């Protein structure tokens, strides 16, 4: 099992180019199942989740290869409808092939998904919505057995709660459904907007008709296209927070600052200095970190995927701060490890109370999920001495070349077995 050694304290200085978005790439890759021809994708991040999704598509019959920096997906012989547990168990996004398979073939057998252990995240919202498009389903031995005897037929659907995955699955499924589908109470994360842009470029007919409502007129088939995936806003936010934590100075490149306004405003509130340009941000950390209270929320609120990283920063604040986690019920597993490093964080229900004014001490640590993994790296960068982080396979699921990027800006970090 691989581990990381992190030596601190280190002040980060230099520039980091942000990779393509994992959370945008995964639904777009799933949506390529709608095609019976060829598609090219640019700017995919080189992370484990993308590799897993590519292997899942290959298992379904897609022919996939890299041509220079582009990923070519050829679905001219893609006919399989079985998504196995072995490929879906490690990531939540595996369930997104369900919508595409049902739209294309009217049948699918897909394993219930896995991923980070940050909450139950049931797929009942996906299944209830798909049933309104004419899908019949049952769950047996860990698999969803689904069929649409008369094909998918457009409908008006209001999600019972905002769900990123359910919104993505229904957008994909409805793109080939007969007639018009209107989805209400949709998630509107930038990654979903990117999925819609991709589908429209392939000839689908999707239009936002209000802030959280989208109208989808089904088409018979989609055309060949080349598409470049958006930047990873969570990776960008992580490195912005890293600069603030270490009192560093970083230029974050290859981004659209308009997409991360919430994060920018919070970092300004805590005292970081930011110069925002068209495709980049210069950030300088302040020795004095001001406390803030944060509630995670669906976009455009503060993202749950940056909650752990922000918690590390608030451990440095001048007084007590609060973080309320409103998305996942089990996303404070990093707290115990941060407290072992000297943090003073207590949990009451879905609220973390962070005392502030602490100096992290180096320690041997255990990563519990993807974002918790990177939060431990951020804490270790400010701690005197050597910290060791175990179970870093979570990290490789979502951050491209993290050691290389951190080394370039002054971190002393090393992977070992």
List active site positions.
116
Whether the CB-CB separation of 189 and 298 falls below 8 Å is answered with yes
Note whether 81 and 210 are same-domain residues: yes
DSSP conformation class of 302: B
Same domain as 238, residue 218: no
**pLDDT at position 114:** 61
Q: What is the CATH number of the domain that holds 83?
A: 3.65.10.10
Using CA atoms in the order 44, 396, 100, 73, what is the torsion angle rounded to 10 degrees? 40
Shared-domain flag, residues 199 and 304: no
Domain boundary residue, one of 228, 251, 278:
228
Closest CA to 48 of 398, 404, 415: 398
Please give the biggest Cα pair distance in the chain: 64
Q: Please check whether residues 295 and 402 belong to one and the same domain.
A: yes
Do 162 and 301 lie in one domain? The reply is: no
Do 255 and 379 sit in the same domain of this protein?
yes
pLDDT of residue 1: 83
**Shared domain check, 224 and 361:** no
| Residues 87 and 221 grouped into a single domain | yes
| Residues 38 and 97 reside in one and the same domain | yes
Per DSSP, what are the bridge partners of residue 225? 39
Q: Are residues 160 and 266 in the same domain?
A: no
Split the chain (417 residues) into runs of 10 and give each run's mean pLDDT: 94 98 98 96 96 96 92 96 90 92 97 56 87 95 93 97 96 98 98 98 98 98 96 98 98 98 98 97 96 96 96 97 89 93 96 96 92 94 97 91 97 94
The strand pair at 249-253 and 63-67 is best described as: unpaired
Coil/strand/helix, residue 51: helix
Looking at the structure, do residues 196 and 48 belong to the same domain, yes or no?
yes
CB distance 388 to 398 below 8 Å:
no
Q: Within this chain, do residues 48 and 112 fall inside the same structural domain, yes or no? A: yes
CA distance 81 to 361: 51
Q: Which residues of 330-342 are buried (b: 16+ CB within 10 A; e: fewer)?
A: ebbbbbebbeebe
Q: How many domains does the chain have?
A: 2
What would the two tokens of residue 130 be? Answer: 């798909």
pLDDT at residue 26 in the model = 97
**Among 228, 259, 287, residue at a domain's last position:** 228
The boundaries of the domain holding residue 75 are: 22-228
- Name the domain boundary from 170, 200, 228: 228
């Amino acid at each position: 099992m691989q581990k990381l050694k992190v030596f601190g304290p280190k002040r980060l200085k230099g520039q980091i180019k942000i990779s393509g978005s994992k959370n945008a790439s995964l639904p777009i890759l799933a949506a390529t199942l709608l095609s019976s021809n060829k598609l090219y994708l640019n700017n995919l991040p080189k992370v484990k989740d993308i590799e897993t999704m590519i292997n899942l598509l290959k298992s379904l019959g897609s022919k996939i290869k890299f041509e220079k920096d582009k990923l070519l997906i050829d679905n001219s012989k893609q006919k399989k409808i079985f998504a196995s547990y072995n490929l879906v168990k490690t990531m939540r996004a595996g369930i997104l092939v369900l919508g595409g398979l049902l739209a294309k073939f009217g049948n699918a057998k897909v394993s219930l998904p896995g991923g980070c252990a940050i909450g139950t995240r049931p797929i009942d919202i996906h299944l209830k919505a798909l049933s309104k498009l004419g899908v019949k389903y049952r769950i047996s031995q860990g698999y969803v057995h689904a069929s649409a005897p008369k094909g998918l037929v457009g409908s008006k659907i209001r999600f019972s709660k905002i769900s990123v995955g359910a919104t993505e699955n229904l957008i994909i499924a409805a793109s080939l459904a007969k007639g018009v589908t209107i989805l209400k109470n949709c998630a509107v994360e930038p990654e979903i907007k990117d999925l819609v842009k991709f589908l429209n470029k392939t000839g689908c007919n999707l239009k936002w008709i209000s802030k959280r409502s989208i109208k989808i007129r089904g088409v018979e088939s989609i055309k060949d296209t080349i598409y470049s995936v958006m930047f990873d806003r969570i990776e960008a936010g992580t490195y912005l927070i890293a600069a603030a934590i270490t009192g560093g100075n970083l230029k974050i490149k290859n981004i659209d600052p308009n997409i991360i306004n919430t994060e920018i405003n919070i970092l300004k509130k805590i005292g970081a200095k930011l110069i925002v340009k068209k495709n980049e941000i210069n950030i300088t950390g302040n020795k004095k970190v001001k406390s803030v209270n944060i509630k995670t929320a669906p976009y455009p609120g503060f993202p749950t995927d940056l909650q752990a990283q922000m918690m590390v920063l608030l451990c440095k604040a001048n007084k007590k701060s609060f973080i309320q986690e409103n998305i996942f019920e089990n996303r404070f597993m990093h707290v115990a490890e941060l407290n072992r490093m000297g943090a003073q964080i207590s949990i009451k229900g879905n609220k973390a109370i962070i005392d502030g004014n602490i100096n992290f001490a180096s320690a041997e640590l255990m990563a519990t999920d993807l974002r918790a993994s990177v939060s431990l790296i951020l804490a270790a960068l400010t701690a005197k001495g050597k910290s060791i982080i175990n179970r870093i396979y979570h990290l490789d699921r979502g951050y491209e070349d993290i050691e290389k990027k951190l080394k370039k800006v002054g971190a002393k970090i090393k992977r070992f077995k």
